Chain A
């Protein structure tokens, strides 16, 4: 029998079924499912042919969009295509580990995220976009979708109201938030994982939020936004009903999270997120020509984020928002009009854009609430008994709550 060339490179797609010889590698290599590279080379024959040399000529069909004919006939390979999507970006040149373990898939997924994020950052791509590591997954929390038109409209509105500075401030804020979230995603480690994975796997469609400040411009512009709860509702704070009233005591709990990049606030996640937080690292901006730089912003943001992370009190986030915030507007934005004790929120200046920056955090906080519903329960949804159980030192058998504990009770 001829020796299988692909197997020698570690890339044989047929594995056991291969008609060629796989020298000496029953255990080591035989179980390995086919990598995507083989199918890519096959596909390149009928791939996109560029008439000009200007671009990378062959457009490789992005592996994750094709559940391809090559994979069609074999069961195990289906899963491998699934996991290949995690390594994303169409350059799935690496051999797969055995597909049986779900962990491997996760690992691939996370690696894929890291890769995607690095490319996102360095390529000058539009920042304010939702991002999903796999097409079947809901978008990762912490990124808001703002289209260039929405951003530009904000610019024009503020220009005409002579309020350009607040636009600039808010943009800087958005950029800082984005950068922080990107940095978090880049340093995937155990705790981040814990935070990310439920997010990724639970399929909760955090569709409600993600309202950039674009949509608010109608209300924002020229009007004092205070107190019109109607307009707040239009912030698509869809999950808010349970959310807003429940947190009247410490709305900041959920409010801070957006800044922290949608990492669930309590538990190990926070301790992980703080180091990853990297505020004040005036980041890279290797995004070459993209001048959404943050020299000012990092100072700005860091002032906000320097507060003790475990205190889930909103001050870090609140402080960050302070200059940009309007008064009651922001409060209304967080769904608890009047109950805000944050001094930050009571600054009356710059109503318009200040309040508009809320939505940028709102969507994310909304997202958090979605995640948090999965990981934690808001206090008001627990019965008295459950609350007692959580508060006591030990659980009593027979009374162990089935719901996860509320965020407030988690101490690190």
Chain B
């Protein structure tokens, strides 16, 4: 039975695929999702699924144990570790090339590497003066390159064959997160900076957007309109809030809005809340609905057009640090590991880090109507 390809439910009887621990009282997997085998030994910083051009589903995860691991996710839910490669520092960003043959990984060792999965060789393709936080593959009509955003306040574009960047753009501050959906790219920096780029012909800055949020930017994701053209982005901050910014739309100011999420009301005093950071977000490739994960250990699904919350998960016992969808939106992967949101005192190196896979075909369908 092909569980990932169909809409049938799985996970409730997932005992055969390694959801051990569900019988115990711990809450490491309250949603009873499929656990990826051989998960990384330290916090997972980034997740990425292979593109549609590759048959099957392959997941790569970068971790603070300096490694990048790749699994094949089979239709019956089994995950088979395939390969891994090591950086000299924690890996903060991963992405696939559009043909699915290479994986680009960005690390705190200030380099980005191109990992050829067929040959299992990784070569360095980028160099910065500070850790590289984001890496994205850009496929334009007349060029292909890798975009890296770093804490050295630059955004560099690399042709993988040359050791010099083909282009380097200055950022106002350290790059904290970025997203690319051709022809748009958005970079969110420290001090609430937000810059939109257009990638046609060659990357150039379009404008700086005023962030609707008051606090530090944490994650950003571009969404598309019904013609699959990027027309805006969502921005998450450390303050448990997400802002939607529409661009290139006549009523962009009116339509842009923010909402609160990943907060919990305290039982004792009404009105005061615990506020958690939004660690990652991803748009469902088919439905266009949004998944967000936060330091509170929950994931949420949202429908931005219907302005509805589709689902909230049970809290995991660790924060969820990263998430992503596979290319057809059937699988939602999220990583449960410590994100440093409470400082070093809460860091337990011995704690197990998990990556969970969930069938996302049904739950992310948008609500019909308002």
Contact = CB atoms under 8 A, between A and B. Distances in A.
Interface of A: 46-52, 54-56, 59-62, 64-69, 72, 88, 90, 116, 119-120, 122-126, 128-133, 135-136, 139, 145, 147-153, 155-156, 167-168, 171, 205-207, 210-211, 214-215, 218, 234, 236, 288-292
Given A128-B216, A155-B347, 13 more contacts: A46-B370, A48-B307, A51-B308, A55-B264, A55-B309, A56-B263, A59-B261, A129-B238, A148-B340, A149-B90, A156-B64, A207-B172, A291-B345
A340 B308 CA distance: 59
Given A129-B216, A135-B211, A171-B344, A55 B192 contact: no
Nearest to B133: A149
A306 B19 CA distance: 57
B211 A50 contact: no
Q: Which 10 A-B residue pairs are closest in the complex by CB-CB distance?
A: A129-B216, A123-B275, A145-B190, A148-B340, A59-B259, A126-B238, A152-B340, A65-B212, A125-B275, A62-B258
B214 A132 contact: yes
A142 to B, nearest CB: 13
13 contacts: A46-B370, A51-B308, A51-B310, A55-B261, A55-B264, A119-B273, A122-B272, A126-B277, A148-B340, A153-B90, A214-B130, A218-B110, A234-B129
Contacts of A120: 239
Interface in B165-179: 172-174, 176
A46 B92 CA distance: 38
Nearest to A123: B275
B64 A135 contact: no
A225 B128 CA distance: 19
B260 A62 contact: yes
A139 B216 CA distance: 10
B108 A153 contact: yes
B241 interface: yes
Interface in B293-322: 302, 307-312
B257 A66 contact: yes
Contact of B344 (A129, A147, A155, A210): A155
A236 B308 contact: no
Given A126-B277, A149-B92, A207-B193, A65 B342 contact: no
Contact of B258 (A55, A61, A130, A214): A61
Interface in B317-355: 339-347
A55 B263 contact: yes
Interface string B237-257: 011110100000000011011
B136 interface: no
Given A49-B309, A129-B216, A210 B259 contact: no
Given A59-B261, A131-B215, A124 B308 contact: no
Interface residues of B, number: 69
Contact of A135 (B176, B214, B240, B276): B214
B137 interface: no
A149 B172 CA distance: 19
Contact of A119 (B133, B256, B257, B275): B275
B38 interface: no
B contact patch SS: loop
Nearest to A149: B92
A51 B311 contact: yes
A51 B273 CA distance: 20
A67 B251 CA distance: 11
Nearest to A118: B272
A54 to B, nearest CB: 6
B307 A47 contact: yes
Contacts of B310: 51
Contacts of A65: 212, 243, 256-258
Nearest to B193: A207
Nearest to A124: B274
A135 B370 CA distance: 28
Given A48-B307, A218-B130, A291-B346, A116 B265 contact: no
Given A130-B192, A152-B340, A291-B342, A124 B64 contact: no
B280 interface: no
Contacts of B190: 130, 145, 147, 210
B9 interface: no
Contacts of A210: 173, 190-191
B122 interface: no
B131 interface: yes
Contacts of B264: 54-55
A134 to B, nearest CB: 8
B210 interface: yes
A106 B339 CA distance: 37
Contact of A56 (B253, B265, B344): B265
B67 to A, nearest CB: 14
A247 B240 CA distance: 41
Interface string B139-183: 000000000000111000000000000000000111010000000
A88 B214 contact: yes
Nearest to B92: A149
Contacts of A153: 89-90, 108, 131
Contacts of A133: 214
Contacts of B339: 148
A151 B343 contact: yes
A122 B272 CA distance: 8
Given A56-B265, A291-B346, A50 B312 contact: yes
Contacts of A124: 274-276, 342
Interface string B201-243: 0000000001111111010000000000000000000111101
B89 to A, nearest CB: 8
A51 B312 contact: yes
Contacts of A68: 254
B239 A125 contact: yes
B45 interface: yes
A215 B151 contact: yes
A83 to B, nearest CB: 16
B191 A145 contact: yes
Contact of A54 (B215, B241, B253, B312): B312
A67 B212 CA distance: 12
B257 A151 contact: no
B238 to A, nearest CB: 4
A61 B257 contact: yes
Contact of A129 (B151, B193, B215, B258): B215
A72 B240 CA distance: 29
Contacts of B211: 135
Interface string B350-370: 000000000000000000001
Nearest to B257: A61
A128 B213 CA distance: 15
